[in-house]
A and B are shown apart, each in its own frame.
Chain A
């Protein structure tokens, strides 16, 4: 019997469950290393060389280099770990979140000022609003 994972049908949402955490372990460990200023400097000085010190998959490394947060999440990254990357880049959670939605930072902020993204039509994949 497989475990029930009812969250799989939520659109545009990846739940960082045990399975994904296992997949993302080294990616998230790399992120944790950026909490030390000396590591941030090393990473900025040579991103590829720094990433090569970690047992990450090539897909995970490419996603980091592209700063493609949706790809990083699909590869097992969790947003609170990934936050160490965009914080090291001097960027905010709002900026990082907007980058995952296909909206510009300005469009995203306007959406939030307008009350945020509605849940209507966003509860289940294929649902009509």
Chain B
């Protein structure tokens, strides 16, 4: 049977991808940030996930103003890096897991989460930057990936509670899959940041710290936080944190924290990173 072994949470800042691609990770500005992922690279080399179920948001790359799915599951064989305006990142093609993706879609839709099914899609920095942070710069990614896109661009995104409940349905579906697979669920985006308007540059360390803490101490309460609290306290783009709740919901109660990292700034953003292992 497939099992979810762990969840990884991380920001997915585009400038971080550029720093990796352009060989700037040792520069004084970036070095302290990348240091926070050294443990994670060693950890994941030991863990060797077969599949990463990667919750992220598309940034007007695959989904323009014409079509904006709230939840979309990537069921394709492969996904190419998107051209976001400066040419595609030179990172490996993302290899999907169409069988498991189809299984999850069938299960969670009948659990009343009305997913959009995507059979052709390019993936942008929201997905590829976390891959680079965790796996570095290999010739090919060492695992399969199921891209799971959540709309957080067009307000309103789904509620935190909906995301958390969806995570639970995803856990149930994955645990019903017959093949022996080590699956990780990743929640990406955040933490506090605002990229627009005169309030751009907002960072709220107290909010982010409390968010980390409540993921472990009060996940149900955290999932009830209304959207206004995210945008007022953590910035208009801080609302990406609802995606972390999908991955959190996919874990069993009382997961074990194995790594936590926080750094300001990554470009405009508070970089947050957490690894939680499922209780066996």
Contact = CB atoms under 8 A, between A and B. Distances in A.
A13 to B, nearest CB: 5
A73 B205 CA distance: 27
Interface in B199-241: 199-205, 207, 227-228, 231-233, 235-237
Contacts of B235: 13
Please report whether the interface of chain A is mostly helix, strand, loop or mixed according to DSSP.
helix
Interface in B217-275: 227-228, 231-233, 235-237, 264-265, 267-268, 270
Given A35-B61, A111-B201, A94 B268 contact: yes
Contacts of B203: 112, 115-119
Contacts, number: 156
A22 to B, nearest CB: 9
A94 B267 contact: yes
A100 B60 contact: no
A10 B265 CA distance: 22
A12 B65 contact: no
Nearest to B201: A117
Interface stretch (B71-79, B112-120, B129-137, B190-198): B190-198
Interface in A1-17: 6-7, 10-17
Contacts of B207: 119
Given A7-B231, A15-B155, A73-B197, A81 B268 contact: no
Interface string A16-48: 111001001100110110111100100000000
Contacts of A40: 85
A32 B202 contact: no
A113 interface: yes
**A interface residue count range (under 10 / 10 to 19 / 20 to 34 / 35 or more):** 35 or more
Given A15-B155, A113-B265, A84 B85 contact: yes
Nearest to A28: B65
**B interface residue count range (under 10 / 10 to 19 / 20 to 34 / 35 or more):** 35 or more
Nearest to A112: B265
A22 B204 CA distance: 31
B98 interface: no
Interface string A57-69: 0000000000001
A44 to B, nearest CB: 12
Contacts of A50: none
B83 interface: yes
B198 A100 contact: yes
A88 B85 contact: yes
A124 B87 CA distance: 39
Contact of A93 (B14, B154, B231): B14
Q: Identify the interface centre among B201, B227, B235, B270: most chain A CB within 10 Å of its CB.
A: B201
Nearest to A70: B197
Contact of A13 (B59, B199, B205): B199
Nearest to A76: B65
A87 interface: yes
Interface string B1-36: 000000000000011001000000000000000000
B111 interface: no
15 contacts: A7-B232, A10-B231, A10-B232, A12-B197, A13-B236, A21-B65, A32-B64, A78-B153, A83-B60, A85-B85, A93-B195, A112-B264, A117-B199, A119-B207, A122-B199
Interface of B: 14-15, 18, 59-61, 64-66, 82-87, 153-156, 192, 194-205, 207, 227-228, 231-233, 235-237, 264-265, 267-268, 270
For the complex of A and B, the 9 pairs showing the least CB-CB separation, nearest first, are A116-B203, A87-B85, A12-B198, A12-B199, A112-B265, A97-B200, A117-B201, A32-B64, A80-B60
